[in-house]
Chain A
């Protein structure tokens, strides 16, 4: 456990290297110094390019400072020089495990600005694609968590499922990851005629495989339980204080989901449960993700059953010039709340685009939760957040 509570508090709260540099001779009661260590930015187990400055006392982490910015691409500034429709392919490159949700968030913000009606079939296709994307993000995130614990097999099974979903995406949108499918006023094109049946067959098969391939493989495993149960535990108050969203928030028992609480698109017409868990540790976040994936399957089935016929793209004219003002769009991405704020000055390029990415906002959990844990517990806690470096660096 922590040796010197007061000192730890002063350092973790300030969270700056300068504090430590100002007091280089701080020692604990045994006269031993702590060890500073860098984890990342290039570390085989790290999620993307993240550097953690760790202060270690033996094997216990005393302080953890995440350093971001190794993948910063000025996405928000580039968007200011582009016309409104040309920003959509950029949003694909934010959180590259939730491309559809990024597109949807940006498009909702611009539609809020323009105040346009979307054809109902386009709304259903958007939700269908977003829920497939959620499956394609939640399933590999289980694999990443297991890979970080040293189990190699699950990630192969998870990526096999993701590959199949990507094949569906490729047939619908023309690309495997950078879709550029959801457009301002609708979607790019209608579903190919054979795709609804293909999605249905895939979903039916996945429902059967889910228990055998993921739940049986992972859930009861003793190593998995001993490495995740009680690791990264946080209280509801702490989670709300840190402004977490998505599975890291829901695994503490807070019942919050943008899809239900701030409904957008056609979610009010669909039935689904918001999954919560009480434990608030890594194992709870794993259970939340598994159950959410099953809810996504349920949503996809409803979308396919209820999908109306009709147009998929509204007529907005050739060149978008929204009136002065601002638009806001928020969606529930697999990692939490993704919201976009677009400010218009009346020209054909946005005056300002701001993205709130869940990977970035959930990252504050590291500073608060990791101190007091052992060094090998860092990676499961990263698996709890499941951040994507394209998201936190933008």
Chain B
């Protein structure tokens, strides 16, 4: 029969041991640790490389990327190609899923190591990259409504799922 209080003393010896152990707390704002290579921070765009293919805008689940596209002969080849005059990333909506980074054919949109996003106003978090600002409040890609015909056809399946 163990003595009453023995378990507690054993526990206290564990905490006492930790008291003299190495401290692991870091003072965050003064000390910042190195982020790993794959770390997904705020997005940024290299506008020189962007070919305005709009794939990132279409794949973004939160509709946080808006691009204003025109045709322009930017590289002097004599042929007018799609050109992004306006490019906005709304960080207040972004969830850092990196789907846009994976879809970009020229790797011009990528994650930085920056992760401290704060502002007094939501609109301040929308970062403009193009020559012309784009209104981030307008949804670039409204949710596509499904065809009602198809939905009605599959109605019995809904009961199965529910």
Contacts and interface: CB of A to CB of B under 8 A. Distances in A.
Interface string B21-61: 00010000000000111111000000000000000000101
B79 interface: no
Given A86-B97, A174-B40, A222-B8, A213 B2 contact: no
A122 B55 CA distance: 27
Contact of B154 (A180, A219, A345): A345
A153 B157 contact: no
B157 A326 contact: yes
Contacts of A219: 7
B138 interface: no
A216 interface: yes
Interface residues of A, number: 44
A197 B45 CA distance: 35
B38 A172 contact: yes
B59 A171 contact: no
A326 B161 contact: yes
A160 B99 contact: no
A343 B160 contact: yes
A115 interface: no
B112 interface: no
B161 to A, nearest CB: 4
A155 interface: no
A324 interface: yes
B96 A352 contact: no
Contacts of A88: 97
B117 to A, nearest CB: 15
Nearest to A173: B38
A86 B10 contact: no
Nearest to B18: A157
Contacts of B35: 170
Which of A180, A189, A224, A326 has the most CB atoms of chain B within a 10 A radius of its CB?
A180
Nearest to B35: A170
B99 A86 contact: yes
A354 B15 CA distance: 45
Contacts of B59: 83, 86
Given A157-B18, A220-B7, A221-B11, A170 B157 contact: no
B9 to A, nearest CB: 9
A324 B99 contact: no
A381 B12 CA distance: 25
A225 B95 CA distance: 43
B10 A174 contact: no
A82 interface: yes
Interface string A83-122: 1011011100000000000000000000000000000000
A223 interface: yes
Interface of B: 2, 4-8, 10-11, 13-15, 17-18, 24, 35-40, 59, 61, 95-99, 111, 143-144, 146, 150-151, 153-154, 157-158, 160-162
7 contacts: A82-B61, A175-B39, A175-B40, A192-B37, A221-B10, A346-B150, A351-B151
